[in-house]
Chain A
Amino acid sequence: MEKFVHLKAIAAPLLRVNIDTDVIIPSREMKGVSKTGLSVGMFANWRYTDVPARISNPEFVLNRAPYDKAHILLSGDNFGCGSSREHAVWAMKEWGFRAVIAPSFGAIYYGNCVRNGILPVVLPDEAVRAIAAWVEASPAANQVEIDLPSQKVHAAGVAYAFSIGESDKDMLLEGLDPIGVTLKRDPAIQAFEAKDRMQRPWVYI
């Protein structure tokens, strides 16, 4: 998995609440048993005026320079709610996003980000809106800087502190393979099963 340590990049504001994963990647855009080739379908219903013909909607933020080069998305409460489809994260990663800053996230989407090297940053709504206003004043020059080791977002002359779980932080900083990490605990898993088999035999069909 790709590491995330430090990023300074153009940020695109999409300040709506409850942007769901059906919006991020409509089910019609998930056409194969694959993690790739999804970015063209990202935000398809907002990004194109004619979806099948792929006619670009000039009004949509990610179609406008310099936001078309953004690596950070700024959004509203409950970003990534809805369907568990990891395709939403795969599409955003393939398009170029490395971080999303929002007041809250859908729980499954948050976990999917961490497992794909995208940093989900939780900041209060006022902070996200202040950053968005500063970015919009000069989007190419006013780049947002995120430092994961110190858990700070630098923007608009302010250092915004954010929280992240220790294991999620380690996974992103080190680019760890979580399955490999857990498999090292195999003796503990086996010990649990041996004890559990006595207590809950009905689990072990």
Chain B
Amino acid sequence: MVADLGDGAALLYIDRIFLHERTGSVSLQELKAKNRPVRHKEHVFVTMDHIVDTFPGRGDKTLMPSGTDFITSTRATATEAGLNLFDVTDERQGIVHVVSAEQGITLPGFTQVCPDSHTCTLGALGALAWGIGSSEGEHALATKTLAVTKPKSMRVGFTGTLGYGVTSKDMILHLIGKYGAAGGSGYAITFTGPAIAALPQENRFTICNMAVEFGAFAGVIPPDETTFDYVKGRPYAPQGAAFDAAVASWRLLNDDADAVYDREIVVDCSDIVPTITWGTSPGQTSRIDGVVPNPSDAKDANTRGSMDKALEYMDVTPGQKLEGLAIDAAFIGSCTNSRLSDLRAVAAVVKGRHVSPNLKKAVIVPGSTQVKRAAEREGLHEIFKAAGFEWRESGCSMCFNAGGESMGEKWRVVSSTNRNFENRQGPKTRTHLASPTTVAASALAGAIADVRKLG
């Protein structure tokens, strides 16, 4: 903390700033126009993920007519300001929150911001990481600080163990479904408990990624040996004796069992099954073997009205079974679920099988160029292609219409992404959020499917 601003607010020092080509160049252009230099440009990183397309052999051109402007403008402003740029053809390129962890740019105890709401993903490394707007981005770049009003604190404890076919994606969808998309509003959340401790590092990112879909300011998993093992040896992490000294300091960051939180939630993982969304908010979830809920059970008129609108948009009816609902497309990718472990899990489901002939599109987009290469070294891409999936370059892709590419009008899509908002994946596209393995099983069936039944 640089200064106490009173009234619960503080000026916080920001250790790392990440930018991408959709929102980054606006901030950099504004700073330049105001003649304000970037403070500690060596702490600022820029990647291309939000506008660049993911077709094999891509360059600066996109389907979106003005897309190239975002890429070239970001390249020019970032280069002129002397920032660390992971350009379209750079081997470190990828989705901002995937590469920030992969390169060791985010470290435990860090503060990190990016003009992107899923920056909270990096809380899984024990960092305080949160999304900001472009104006706050300018502030962070020019001053290396941000004024923050201290949020309330919440601890979400996950107890028990995960059942067969249940993933960290199902954990977070279950939580948001149970407490609502505003359930974490106003809170910084600490995710803890034995089920979190048991998760490999890559699966932890999925939990923190969707903290913002729970309405939270940030989501943090206290760092432990799993975290330190993950960070060790990464390019921007301290090395050798410096790493050991850092770990000694990071051990002190671990969750104090006696800490007092403004709110505590405990979730028993034995209650969690594969979970999928039925509506247009990440809080509108159902068990994979469940049915679409009835708006007449809603707690108030506004919620009922929103459910009615979601039912109409999604073309589903109360009481309808989700399992077996025919789909048009499947998408695996995004900062939520696109890491090597996700791709390995998908490969295990689809190996030797083929996606349904009824699908109009089945796409797998690796989270980074590094993930892509690692997957190819293991031959995963051959499994995906043989199963009928497109295998792409890294980027945000059809999580929204990055590169101007969309799903078709009114298509029903099962997606490993984080937002089922209206029109996000395409015009009137009906998105069902689920784990990568649920998406894989559904792609094979051509309908929403329970991965546990696949055997």
A85 to B22, CA, bound (A): 9
Could you mark each residue 67-104 of chain A with 1 if its beta carbon is under 8 Å from any beta carbon of chain B, else 0? 00000000011100111111001000000000000001
Cβ of A196 and Cβ of B13 under 8 Å apart? yes
Given contacts A78-B181, A179-B138, contact A84 B132 (CB under 8 A): yes
Cβ of B2 and Cβ of A27 under 8 Å apart? no
CB distance from A177 to the nearest CB of B (A): 9
A182 to B142, CA, bound (A): 9
Q: Which residues of B contact A30 (CB under 8 A)?
A: 22
Given contacts A78-B215, A108-B131, A182-B143, contact A16 B115 (CB under 8 A): no
Is residue B381 contacting chain A, with contact meaning CB distance below 8 A?
no
Cβ of B13 and Cβ of A86 under 8 Å apart? no
Q: Which residues of B contact A202 (CB under 8 A)?
A: 107, 237-238, 242, 246
CB distance from A199 to the nearest CB of B (A): 8
Cβ of A125 and Cβ of B300 under 8 Å apart? yes
Given contacts A23-B421, A33-B29, contact A86 B23 (CB under 8 A): yes
Could you mark each residue 17-28 of chain B with 1 if its beta carbon is under 8 Å from any beta carbon of chain A, else 0? 000001101100
Question: How many residues from B make CB contacts under 8 Å with A?
Answer: 80
Q: Which residues of B contact A83 (CB under 8 A)?
A: 116-117, 419
Q: Which residues of A contact B116 (CB under 8 A)?
A: 83-84
Given contacts A17-B302, A108-B131, A166-B9, contact A84 B117 (CB under 8 A): yes
Is residue B7 contacting chain A, with contact meaning CB distance below 8 A?
yes
Residue of B nearest to A76 (CB): B302
Given contacts A78-B215, A125-B300, A179-B143, contact A18 B13 (CB under 8 A): no
CB distance from A70 to the nearest CB of B (A): 19
Could you mark each residue 391-431 of chain B with 1 if its beta carbon is under 8 Å from any beta carbon of chain A, else 0? 00000000011000000000000000001011110010000
Question: How many residues from A make CB contacts under 8 Å with B?
Answer: 58
Residues of chain A at the chain B interface (Cβ within 8 Å): 15-18, 20, 22-23, 26-28, 30-35, 45, 51, 76-78, 81-86, 89, 104, 106-108, 111-112, 115-116, 125, 129, 165-168, 178-179, 182-183, 185, 188-189, 192-193, 196, 199-203, 205
The 5 closest A-B pairs by CB, nearest first: A86-B133, A112-B133, A78-B182, A202-B238, A115-B135
Residues of chain B at the chain A interface (Cβ within 8 Å): 1-3, 5-9, 11, 13, 15, 22-23, 25-26, 29, 34, 36, 42-43, 64-66, 69-70, 73, 107, 109-110, 115-117, 130-136, 138-139, 142-145, 147, 149, 151, 181-182, 185-186, 212-213, 215-217, 236-238, 242, 246, 249, 281, 283, 300-303, 305-306, 309, 400-401, 419, 421-424, 427
Q: List 12 A-B contacts (CB under 8 A).
A: A22-B421, A23-B421, A23-B423, A26-B423, A84-B117, A107-B186, A107-B215, A108-B132, A166-B7, A167-B9, A179-B36, A189-B144
